Amino acid sequence: MLDLDFIRNNTKKVKKACEDKNLDGSIVDRFLDVDKKRSKLLSQTQDLRTKRNALVHELKTKPSQEQIKEGRELKDKLSKIEAELQKQEEEFKKLLRQIPNPPADDVKPGKNEDENEAVKNWGKKPTFSFEVKDHLQLGESLGIIDVKRAARLSGSRFGYLVGEGVLLEFALLQYGLGILLKEGFVPVLPPVLTKVSTFHKLGYSEHKGHLDYYLVNDTEKEIKNEEANYYLIGTAEHALVPMHEDEILELKHMPKRYVGFSPAFRREAGSWGKDTKGILRVHQFDKLEMVSFIEPQEGADKKEHEYLLSLEEKIVQGLGLPYQVVKMCSGDLGHPAARKYDIECWFPSQNRYRETHSCSTCTDYQSRALNIKYRNKDGKTDFVHVLNGTAIAMGRTITAILENYQQKDGSVKVPEVLRPYVGKEKILRIGG
């Protein structure tokens, strides 16, 4: 969430931020209106409590009938105002969550992904002397991807990884961890369920965001009780960032960097008809994710963002996959992100680049909601800045490897950096 004083003192800027992210700027006016009502009610409540406390002190002696009557009237009036205050508080928090993090100054205004900008290309696209197969054709012929049996078990957009498919995933895990551990990242295996209240604080559950995630009800408790419900995480970030909720980090331990490995669950709301073949866009996948907590100094946020992006590029370059780096325009930024890059790897069967990695800075948007602070060199506290980035999305990276490393005989070469973990140079077609 944004700082309250920032919203009050920068109304035009905050409205523009909403509009740049394709949201209705009038949400800011509604919020400020509720903010005024709430402030007035808080003041009235405080005054009535002061009067009540003074009267209670007087009533310790023998009270008069007038004092008793006044006490009852104060109690009734306070009860009504507190009820109205609670109503305004709930609306205040709801509207505050709907105001997004403003795009960074270097982010290009734009309506949607069509206005994103490719800022870098790397690698030579492979050429083939034979008809190119897509990842599903290759995966099925190699016996390493099975979506038909997965569909019987779980429905569409699920898949089994089998045999060398599993070896590829864990090879990628070891490869990615090897790079990030050398950089000082701390590995974490996080929980995959988060409380609803915690998930809201991350900023992804506003607007259409909540439709992309699975809400799990605890049927043993009252369903209407928010704390009886949970969200399945859509990435390890959703569990890594709240690790330090309500904590004060020491400056000597910053930047604090984690790499989490977890399953991720997405509804893929609004994407029906897109990428339904294979395992490119599925409801469950595994992911290696980076999260950084940094001190918000001048230029530090951008420097850390570029650093995380460089690690993503290092991982993809090591795999020998051609890619482009895309910088998101304002309209394609998520609710909490101030700036975001995607890495899109080349998919020969589609003759196009497809997203495999993302990298975002959320500045202090999430840390304010989660109350994550640090103590600076002067002993004062302030909110940290939080960044996140994909190290490896397992399924998408495997699909990119299959397509780019396919051979004429139907086999697929294993990228050299993964061979020590897979134990072979080539994955052969069944019966081949």
Q: What is the pLDDT of residues 250-300, one digit of tens each?
A: 999 999 999 999 999 998 765 555 566 788 889 999 999 999 999 999 999
Alpha-carbon distances of 61 from 50, 72, 365, rounded to whole Å: 18, 17, 52
pLDDT at 308 over 80: yes
Catalytic one among 266, 339, 354, 368? 266
Our answer to whether residue 281 is catalytic in this structure is yes
Query: What pLDDT shows up at residue 219?
Result: 59
Residue 229 has what pLDDT?
Answer: 87
User: What pLDDT score does 107 carry?
Assistant: 97
Q: Annotated catalytic residue: which of 70, 82, 268, 355?
A: 355
pLDDT at residue number 267: 87
Annotated catalytic residue 156? no
Number of residues that make up the chain:
432
Q: Which tens digit of pLDDT belongs to each residue from 322-369?
A: 999 999 999 999 899 999 999 999 999 999 999 999 999 999 999 999
Q: Per mean pLDDT, which range of 29-33, 200-204, 389-393, 400-404 is the poorest? A: 200-204
Whether 97 is catalytic is no
164 against 76, higher pLDDT: 164
CA 318 to CA 413: how far, in whole Å?
A: 14
Give pLDDT, residue 212: 84
Spans of all domains in the chain: 4-98, 113-427
- pLDDT 10s digits, 64-113: 777 777 777 888 888 899 899 999 999 999 999 999 999 999 999 999 99
The helix/strand count (H/E) of the chain reads as 13, 18
> Which fold, 113-427?
BirA Bifunctional Protein; domain 2 (3.30.930)
Let me know if 354 is a catalytic residue.
no
Distances (CA, A) of 381 to 24, 296, 302: 34, 11, 22
For residues 105 and 197, give the distance between their C-alpha atoms in angstroms, rounded to a whole number. 31
149 Cβ contact list (under 8 Å, min separation 6): 160
* Tokens encoding 69: 């009557």
Q: CA distances (Å), 260 to each of 71, 109, 249, in order? A: 57, 32, 19
Mean pLDDT of all residues in 231-259: 96
The active-site residue, picked from 330, 396, 403, 411, is: 396
The pLDDT > 70 percentage for the chain reads: 91
358 catalytically annotated: yes
pLDDT tier, 54 (very low <50, low <70, confident <90, very high otherwise): confident
From the list 97, 157, 281, 354, the catalytic residue is 281
The chain-wide mean pLDDT, for the chain, equals 91
Share of the chain above pLDDT 90, in %: 79
* Four-residue CA torsion sign, 385, 391, 393, 397: positive
Active site residue: 205, 262, 358, 360, which one? 358
pTM: 0.91
Cα separation of 229 and 221, whole Å?
Answer: 9
Question: For domain 4-98, is the CATH number 1.10.287.40?
Answer: yes
